[in-house]
A = this chain, B = another copy of it.
Amino acid sequence: MADRKKAILRAVTDDYITTAEPVGSRTIARKYGLGVSSATIRNEMADLEDEGYLEQPHASAGRIPSDKGYRFYVDTLMTGRDLTGHEEKRIRAEYERRRDEIRALIRTTAKMLGDISQCASVVVGPTVRTAEIRHIQLVPISSETVLVLVVTNSGLVEHRVLSIEHAMHPSDLDRISRILNNRLRGSTLAQMHGAALREIQAELSAYATFLDQMFELLLSAMHSSDEERVYVDGLMQLLAQPEFKDVGRARPVLEFLESDDLVLRALTAVGSRGLGATVVTIGSENVMNELQSCSVISAPYGVAGRVVGAVAVVGPTRLDYSMVTALVGYMAEGLSDILARLDSCESGE
């Protein structure tokens, strides 16, 4: 594509991203001094429309970028940019405060993503199911209840209260804990079946019913905690965007974002590309119908080369792609860093 055409496409896109108004040839000529008249720009814009990069909302309005136009903009036109020092500092400060509880950290991450991007944000937290077990511990709470504690390498601490029929002595619980740790450390809850379980049962045959109950509890915890991995924020910011001033247009998107399982499914797909890959999905490129009027920028994060979750920003296709891409990438990296520190710290036993 000719340089001037690129410059015009870039100008149209930049302008539309900031003003949310269809942009005309005169505006381009005046504001983006390309050294040519509006008539020339008109001709070029007509070409760009023929080629599918621009479109007209109605016959005599300015042009706006099509999904294809945004795609070209993101792939080759966009000037990459870093976060401002202010933004970066704010994120760092928040991360300093929230090091000790991973769920709070993730909640905060979603909040900051929404705030800075002025769009809706989603963070998918780590799952216990596939994380490596670092530590299992049974804690006696009362004569009838035992707390089952699982700490994973992704910093997640999962706990469940188990009701037991017969009181157990703390030293028994310690002994069981020790054996569970030996057998299960390093594996995942999802792998916790078959052979491993049988071995444990054999070694601790005296506690058969207790172990059965406990494994059942862990199994159900594995599934139910999945629903609580999704943190959504910034719905308000989304509603503030002009393309969603009509509730009818906003509803499908908001409904999608409120249904955790759909979001979860959509974002786990992102993880498949591996760590460090920020994915931009524009309008109709989205598989989910509800999102076809939106763009999604997402990036996975993880520990030790394994993807454990993802962060994402959802906004109108008219999105500040360069800012949000930088932001999402930065946040994913930040989460990965913190997890890595937790990981190395805990494994250094």
Residue A35 at the chain B interface, CB threshold 8 Å:
no
Size of the A side of the interface (Cβ < 8 Å), in residues, is 53
Given contacts A236-B254, A239-B254, whether A345 and B228 have CB atoms under 8 Å apart is: no
Given contacts A135-B141, A141-B135, whether A163 and B107 have CB atoms under 8 Å apart is: no
Which of A97, A98, A142 counts the most B-chain CB atoms under 10 A from its CB?
A: A142
Residue A235 at the chain B interface, CB threshold 8 Å:
yes
Cα distance A225–B108 when bound, in Å?
Answer: 12
Taking a contact as CB atoms closer than 8 A, the residue among B161, B235, B348 that contacts A101 in the complex is B161
Taking a contact as CB atoms closer than 8 A, the residue among B141, B220, B235, B349 that contacts A142 in the complex is B349
* Residue pair A100, B144 in contact (C-beta under 8 Å): no
Cα distance A224–B239 when bound, in Å?
Answer: 28
Interface residues of A in 116-151 (CB under 8 A from B): 134-135, 137, 139, 141-145, 147, 149, 151
Residues 234-257 of A, flagged 1 when their CB comes within 8 A of B and 0 if not, give 011001100011110011001100
Closest 4 CB pairs of A and B: A142-B349, A142-B346, A100-B160, A137-B139
Q: Can you report 18 residue pairs joining A to B where beta carbons are below 8 Å apart? A: A98-B224, A101-B161, A104-B224, A141-B151, A141-B346, A142-B347, A142-B349, A143-B348, A144-B346, A145-B346, A147-B157, A149-B159, A159-B159, A235-B254, A236-B255, A239-B247, A239-B251, A247-B250
